[in-house]
Chain A
């Protein structure tokens, strides 16, 4: 029996083949833009970041374009940037994590207090902080994968639980960076150490964030675990039928994210130069903002980790640029809100084209 070539496959160019399903009468330009954005999810945040950078450079009085401003923006982005790695992994599995900020807060309090008050060697205190954060993440993961509760509800609950644990544990006392350095625990605030490249001043924490993005970009695209994260978020039933242990993938995703929050706690300690329950308060929603603006779909299975870094940078660039242009805080918040809505609307539009 002769089998004819189906119309969609006259070309092996995936973009053109992808277009075949779309109504050609509606204009090929729009649908090819759609399919390019669909294929390269980090492209739109990259363009937005570039545009924002150019606009603010020419808009203001020249302060924005200076290297010291860039350095400050990178430092401001470090904490949300690292925490957003964990959020991205979880969102890719079609989950969400509202307990990010409080896990980072608990872990940085835990590190500082073990070293200061219990006399643990810095390195052990640091590792204990990572372990606590990993454990909290794994607890979220167990509730999601084994008890089958919705991630939103699980992490809403643990948000309050971990916050309370942090408050009870710290007894609302702060530990300053000077105290840590004075007692020979400089390692714990090492992430705040400044590195100067001319007038560009960044911290070791900023470098750590960049390295972590590179590591997780590799893990997500080049290991079986990374692929399973995408497959589970894309279609959990299909992944299970293909032989993937969906529960194990989810549990490990939350645990790995927890470990990243532990690293985030370390970077937070260096950045804030103090251990306090007041640090990183808005981190939960800021990481979701970064993930969404970065083009990762909240429905799971789609997105790139680099997009999240761009998303986090976009928020900082907008805030700084508008601030230097004399726009007050309230209007900056308004602008970020609009940006989030636009980013999600674009994501929906791209998905709709593909059904």
Chain B
């Protein structure tokens, strides 16, 4: 079925996922494999089951049937927190940032660190300087030069910078996999470039990335492999240097199959 199969074992795999909403079948036996150190793009027409597939992997949706394996171990995600605890971080299209809070606070939102000693254990004081330092480091590791001040409220940032904060958060906490849902959809050319560069940096830091996108040029620019979703299941997996964008669109719409041209 797939055109390419790297030799390593997948870090994250989904087998035969099925998800129904009443009579509508969103996933009808969908498979997915993500290998260590790669950027896997997921493309597909509206209604092909891209977002249902991703939601199953990020814990936002529980599949009716099928199995998910992380590092070869079967896992079951009931809530997004479960997937996060397992090392899968997702950057949602809506970004999930609180605009009035500053960058450091957003980076640690929902997992604040406390001060050591009685200040933290008795007075429950959060470690503001420590979190600010870690946030700064996370941002620097991704080479985001445009964000300097971690005390800056997120609402004062541009769309690309907000995306950068969300990606930096995912990179800082995602130990196994980072999932990005349409990260460039709302961005201009320059800012998209920044985000694509961050995706490459994630891969260089050894974190595999799943990228969901409608934007073919972006997909072909950064992806190592492209998973094409069609009618609730995987239609093909192609390599961007072996297929053209119009081939990919043809497979997406059912006008062609992989290998057949």
A residues whose Cβ falls under 8 Å from a Cβ of B = 1, 3-6, 8-9, 12-14, 17-18, 21, 39, 218, 222-225, 227-228, 230-231, 234-235, 237-239, 241-244, 301-302, 354
Contacts and interface: CB of A to CB of B under 8 A. Distances in A.
A281 to B, nearest CB: 34
Contacts of B194: 3, 6
Contacts of B100: 230, 234, 301-302
Contact of A6 (B97, B109, B146): B146
A230 B98 contact: yes
A6 B151 contact: no
B146 to A, nearest CB: 4
Given A1-B196, A230-B98, A302-B100, A241 B80 contact: yes
Nearest to B84: A243
B246 interface: no
Given A222-B123, A242-B109, A354-B155, 16 more contacts: A6-B146, A6-B160, A6-B190, A12-B148, A14-B156, A17-B149, A17-B152, A18-B156, A39-B153, A224-B112, A224-B124, A234-B99, A238-B95, A242-B96, A242-B98, A242-B106
B126 A222 contact: yes
Contacts of A243: 80-81, 84, 109-111
Interface centre among B81, B98, B194 (most CB of A within 10 A): B98
B124 A241 contact: no
A231 B101 contact: yes
B112 A227 contact: yes
11 contacts: A3-B197, A8-B146, A14-B149, A14-B152, A225-B124, A227-B112, A234-B101, A238-B97, A241-B92, A242-B97, A354-B155
B105 interface: yes
A219 to B, nearest CB: 8
A137 B194 CA distance: 48
B191 to A, nearest CB: 7
Interface string B159-180: 0110000000000000000000
B61 interface: no
Nearest to B169: A242
Contacts of B101: 227, 230-231, 234
Contact of A222 (B80, B125, B151): B125
B158 A6 contact: yes
Interface string B193-221: 11011000000000000000000000000
Nearest to A14: B152
A298 to B, nearest CB: 14
A133 to B, nearest CB: 23
Contacts of A244: 109-110
A349 to B, nearest CB: 16
Contacts of A222: 123-126, 128
Contact of A239 (B81, B98, B153): B98
Contacts of A18: 153, 156
Contacts of A21: 156, 158
B111 to A, nearest CB: 7
B258 interface: no
B145 interface: yes
A235 B158 CA distance: 18
B98 A301 contact: yes
Interface residues of B, number: 44
Given A17-B156, A18-B156, A227-B112, A235 B149 contact: no
Interface in B55-109: 80-81, 84, 92, 94-101, 105-106, 109
Given A234-B99, A238-B95, A238-B96, A9 B196 contact: no
A238 B94 contact: yes
B249 interface: no
B141 to A, nearest CB: 15
A9 B147 contact: yes
A4 B190 contact: yes
Contacts of A8: 146, 156-158, 161
Nearest to B115: A222
Contacts of B190: 3-4, 6
A266 B152 CA distance: 41
B146 A9 contact: yes
Contacts of B125: 222-223
Contacts of B155: 354
Nearest to A297: B100
A88 to B, nearest CB: 15
Nearest to B191: A6
Contacts of B92: 241
B156 A239 contact: no
B145 A14 contact: no
Given A5-B146, A224-B124, A242 B110 contact: yes
A301 B153 CA distance: 12
A73 to B, nearest CB: 32
Given A4-B190, A6-B158, A243-B84, A235 B98 contact: yes
Contacts of B191: 6
B99 A227 contact: no
A227 B109 CA distance: 8
B179 to A, nearest CB: 13
B152 A227 contact: no
Nearest to B190: A4
Given A243-B81, A301-B100, A227 B156 contact: no
Contacts of B80: 241, 243
Given A234-B99, A239-B109, A227 B126 contact: yes
Contact of B161 (A9, A218, A230, A301): A9
A230 B106 CA distance: 11
